[in-house]
Amino acid sequence: MVCFYSLARRLLPCAAVVVCLLTAGCNYHGRIKRGIYKTPAFDHKIEARVMVVADKYIQQTFTFKDHNLTPINSYTIRVDDGAAVAAADALGTLFSEVEVNLYKYRQNYDYIAELDYKVEEDNDSFYRPVTEEGLLFFRKYIVPRFHTYVTLTLRDPHTRQPVIQLYNDKLTALSFNNTAVGIYWFNRVTFSLLFPVIAPAYTSAAGGSIRKTLEKDLRTCLRKIMKELEENRILFTPGQSVGYPRNDGRYRALLEKTLYIETPSGHGTGFFISPDGYFITNAHVVEDYRDVRYYLYEDLPLEPRRAEPPFRYARVVKVNHARDLALLKAEGKFPYFKLDSDRSHYQTGNTVLVMGNPTTEQFSVTEGIISGLKNDNGVDVIQTDAAISGGNSGGPLVLRETGEVIGVNTAVINPKLAENIGFAISAFEVKRTLGIDQPIDEEKLRREEVLALPVQRRCAEDVYPDAKIM
């Protein structure tokens, strides 16, 4: 027993050293360097002052796990400062004066440039047959690949209208430098017995390879973007219109009653049904969040997930997942729709409007007719040929003749199977399912909330660090 304790006391310091080497030596922290973009300037620069936004739209870090030598190798590389300076250097080849500055100083410049830069792992893997001791088995090899996405947007600092937005991406397999490759094979030859000693050197060499790969891909994307930007230099000629203004005419009053709803996992549409902020959307839009971020028509042009504060948040009051309906409450005074729950008004052939935010578009209108009416598992559903796309979910189906809502846009048949077949839950079903009428009985809703079983929901504040319920 005494010998055992004596041996343990001798081995503990060695074990501590090994742990320290593994912990400290297998983590790399670096940053993209400044001055990585070195390209000759274009002929005849544009006389304009441009500011690259330094505190928005730039991913702060890139984290990567290296499974080749050991899965505990971790690499963290900051990209904010280096990427902003690279964008400024690139723009400096076309514009006479370019600076990196804070967003609050944008009014002092002719244009503001916003860099949205993101890197994701897109690893490739393959299996290779290996024979050991007469046994054949397959060993999995992972080829690290990085997918770089770069979007450069130039805006008018006074109106926030985009002048031009350019995008480029690049997929690259990680290429380790000679030092990292040599250490890797040395580790294989020594059967990892010396790994605690060589780990710091390998991590440093591999981290340098990762950083240089990121720099090379960012530089390549910026070069392609700048070539396209130079070909569009006419947009920056004095007197040229920077954007086509919205002219929503008679539909503006309807659009002002709709909302753009945003959650951390996606977006949808909603519409007000009371002047004090109650609005309807689909249950699949709000999912299991207890509050959601929303934007109004007056916020145009808006930048989802990247807009300026103050942000608006609405509370989820009631959800029925089986019938895909949700009732929410926002604070303030709003124009609102009247729900037409008279099913005799739902007539095939009547002209209807779909209001909403399809895919990447915001506050749009499409027109069609009521194609049919049906009962789907006890739910009144209106079929329409008006265009409904992802993002329109939860928006109003408006009867054009009256301007009243007769349904909540919910689903569409896969275009690969059939075209122009969309569905909306009828306003009759909305009132019946959610137990509401107009005007909203708030006392009744409060009683129902008290009597309802508590449901654990995620809060947007847990996901959005800048969340402030308004």
What is the DSSP pairing of strand 278-281 with strand 291-295? unpaired
Q: Which residues of 354-381 are buried (b: 16+ CB within 10 A; e: fewer)?
A: bbbbbeeebbbbbebbbbeeeeeeebbb
Distance from C-alpha of 137 to C-alpha of 257, rounded to nearest angstrom: 64
Angle at 287 between CA 285 and CA 293, to 5 degrees: 60
- Strand-pairing partners, residue 263, are 266
Distance from C-alpha of 241 to C-alpha of 164, rounded to nearest angstrom: 12
- Check residue 185 and give its pLDDT: 58
Residue 463 structure tokens: 């996901």
Q: What is the pTM of this model?
A: 0.66
Classified as helix, coil or strand, 15 is helix
Q: Identify the segments of the chain with pLDDT beneath 50.
A: 1-5, 7-9, 11-25, 453-456, 460-470
- DSSP letter, residue 331: S
Residue 420 structure tokens: 């122009």
- Check residue 462 and give its pLDDT: 45
Tell me the CB-side half-sphere exposure of residue 206, using CA atoms within 13 A: 27
Radius of gyration of the CA atoms of the chain, in A: 29
Q: Of 57, 283, 66, whose CA–CA distance to 152 is shortest?
A: 57
Segment holding 434, helix H or strand E: helix 427-434
- Check residue 450 and give its pLDDT: 62
The tens digit of pLDDT for each residue in 351-386 reads 999 999 998 889 999 999 999 999 888 889 999 999
- Residue bearing tokens 């847990």: 462
Residue 230 structure tokens: 């130079």
Q: Show the DSSP H helices in 26-118 as ranges.
A: 80-91
- Check residue 20 and give its pLDDT: 45
Show contacts of 180-186: CB within 8 Å, 24+ apart: 180/205, 180/206, 180/208, 180/209, 184/68, 184/69
- Check residue 459 and give its pLDDT: 52
For residues 206 and 66, is the Cβ–Cβ distance under 8 A?
yes
Distance from C-alpha of 358 to C-alpha of 388, rounded to nearest angstrom: 7
- Check residue 137 and give its pLDDT: 64
- Check residue 445 and give its pLDDT: 83
For residues 294 and 285, is the Cβ–Cβ distance under 8 A?
no
